[in-house]
Amino acid sequence: MTEAGRWLSPREQDVWRSYLHAQQALREALDQQLRRDAGMPHAYYQILVALSECEGRRTSMTNLAGKVGSSPSRLSHAVNRLGARGWVSRHRDQDNRRIVLASLTEQGFAALAAAAPGHVREVRRMIFDRLNPEQLDALAAVTAAMTAEPGPA
Per residue in 62-106, pLDDT tens? 999 999 999 999 999 999 999 999 999 999 989 898 999 999 999
Residues 6+ apart with CB under 8 A from 92: 99, 100, 101
Amino acid 6: pLDDT = 86
Q: Please check whether residue 98 lies inside any domain of the structure.
A: yes
Measured CA distances, 47 to 8, 50, 66, 115 (Å):
36, 5, 11, 13
Amino acid 75: pLDDT = 96
Total of domains in the chain? 1
Low-confidence ranges of the chain (pLDDT < 50): 1
Output the domain CATH number for residue 75: 1.10.10.10
CA-nearest of 61, 58, 65 to 43 is 65
Amino acid 152: pLDDT = 72
pTM of the entire structure? 0.88
Amino acid 55: pLDDT = 96
Residues 6+ apart with CB under 8 A from 139: 127, 131
Amino acid 141: pLDDT = 95
State the pairing for strand pair 88-92/100-104: antiparallel
Alpha carbons 18 and 153: distance in angstroms, whole number: 27
Q: Please check whether residue 99 lies inside any domain of the structure.
A: yes
Amino acid 16: pLDDT = 96
Domain enclosing residue 71, as ranges: 18-143
3-class SS of residue 101: strand
